[in-house]
């Protein structure tokens, strides 16, 4: 008995991902000058217009219209015939300061008392909510195979577009990969590959399909997972010339499943992009991934999901849950207690450990925040394996 599981990815030219990248470009610009700035930046893109709004408290100045145009240009929308032009699009802004009611809880956590020397108890969570992290041993980066392959395809689409002068590909695009699993959860083969890529008007589908299969699919998909039954669905509508914000509106935070685990694991619902690290939607999701990855890398489970939950203005998580889905070498309760001993999940501790007050976010705003091997992000490190194994042994 087998089953199928599917995940998708989108390119940097997808309108929702454009919005994410603009929001994180604003965040990076502020973090570079004012690491203590508070940022909640949302972006909306549509035909000929970029609208940036949010609550930002900072001591620095950022030229947002200039930054928007630079970001859109770097994505590849630099002429009107692509459906969007960085030079002529309108850029609108509506920025207010962060609410004083929110800032009060973040700046002085409920648990903090006068004379308390615990610096990591000074900062409370920027909001309530729950965050999930996940890891499994399906890939070297300990990510689910479907989302890993989907990201590889969209990254390759972008690379081919940039590297080949006569490439028929334009910035907008999507991929989707369906993997067949055995009844014990082991990947067996790739069942279906779907790619939809924006393309030049002068290119026919008969020309585009073999080009994408050869240049993109065969370049990144593992041969041992491809067989005679694997299906390739390339631009299944038959035409994809109108793309980007002209083809569909884009909004920050609308691709949170692409940003994480492709639906393979649960998601708390909070988006990442445009948020400074006091927002646990972002920082605690990174910590949850870090915990889960170290549990799997330590050999304590084949797959692991971690939930963290917070209350606004409170530093300590209100709950921590570790679930190994029956794959753990010890039970979930023991794993949870070991994790609580080894990892400090207070917002200030996460910010300090991962050095999150740096301009590192724009590079994460496309092709996933988790499982990245092309850039060095600290939540992908597996440096807590020994400490975890020792904690488990001591608690047995």
pLDDT attached to residue 115:
45
- pTM listed for this prediction: 0.93
Residues contacting 265, CB < 8 A, separation 6+: 132, 133, 134, 144, 305
3-state secondary structure of 100: helix
Q: What is the mean pLDDT of each run of 10 residues along the chain (396 residues)?
A: 97 98 98 95 97 94 96 93 91 83 51 51 79 98 98 98 92 97 96 96 94 96 97 93 92 98 96 96 97 98 98 92 96 96 95 96 98 96 98 93
Closest alpha carbon to 135 in 286, 5, 297:
297
Question: How far is the C-alpha of 296 from the C-alpha of 385, rounded, in Å?
Answer: 9
Helix axes of 332-342 and 280-297: crossing angle, nearest 10 degrees = 120
Question: How far is the C-alpha of 246 from the C-alpha of 244, rounded, in Å?
Answer: 5
pLDDT attached to residue 367:
98
Torsion of CA 5, 137, 257, 68, to 10 degrees: -130
3-state secondary structure of 315: coil
Question: How far is the C-alpha of 396 from the C-alpha of 374, rounded, in Å?
Answer: 38
Question: How far is the C-alpha of 284 from the C-alpha of 136, rounded, in Å?
Answer: 19
């Amino acid at each position: 008995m087998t089953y199928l599981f599917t995940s998708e990815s989108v390119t940097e030219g997808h309108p929702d991902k454009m919005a994410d990248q603009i929001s994180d470009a604003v965040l990076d610009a502020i973090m570079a000058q004012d690491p203590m700035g508070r940022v909640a930046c949302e972006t909306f893109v549509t035909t000929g217009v970029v609208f940036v709004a949010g609550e930002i408290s900072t001591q620095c100045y950022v030229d947002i219209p200039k930054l928007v145009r630079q970001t859109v240009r770097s994505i590849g929308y630099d002429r009107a015939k692509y459906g969007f032009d960085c030079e002529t699009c309108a850029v609108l802004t509506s920025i207010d300061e962060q609410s004083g009611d929110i800032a009060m809880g973040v700046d002085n956590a409920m648990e903090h008392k006068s004379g308390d020397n615990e610096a990591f108890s000074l900062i409370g969570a920027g909001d309530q909510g729950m965050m999930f992290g996940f890891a499994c041993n399906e890939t070297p980066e300990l990510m689910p195979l479907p989302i890993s392959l989907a990201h590889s395809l969209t990254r390759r689409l972008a690379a081919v577009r940039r590297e080949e002068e006569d490439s028929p590909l334009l910035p907008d695009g999507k991929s989707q990969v369906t993997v067949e699993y055995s009844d014990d959860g082991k990947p067996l083969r790739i069942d279906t590959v779907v790619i939809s890529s924006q393309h030049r008007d002068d290119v026919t589908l008969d020309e585009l399909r073999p080009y994408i299969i050869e240049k993109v699919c065969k370049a990144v998909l593992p041969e041992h997972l491809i067989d005679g039954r694997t299906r390739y669905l390339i631009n299944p509508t038959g035409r994809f010339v109108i793309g980007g914000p002209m083809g569909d509106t884009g909004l920050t935070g609308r691709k949170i499943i692409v940003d994480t685990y492709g639906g393979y694991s649960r998601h708390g619902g909070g988006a990442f992009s445009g948020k400074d690290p006091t927002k646990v939607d972002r920082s605690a999701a990174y910590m949850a991934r870090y915990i889960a990855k170290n549990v799997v890398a330590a050999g304590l489970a084949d797959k692991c999901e971690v939930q963290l939950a917070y209350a606004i203005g409170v530093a300590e998580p209100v709950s921590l849950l570790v679930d190994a889905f029956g794959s753990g070498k010890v039970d979930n309760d023991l794993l949870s207690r070991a994790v609580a001993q080894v990892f400090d999940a207070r917002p200030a501790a996460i910010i300090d450990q991962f050095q999150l007050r740096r301009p590192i976010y724009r590079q994460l705003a496309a092709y996933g925040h988790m499982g990245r091997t092309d850039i060095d992000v600290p939540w992908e490190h597996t440096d807590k394996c020994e400490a975890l194994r020792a904690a488990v042994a001591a608690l047995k």
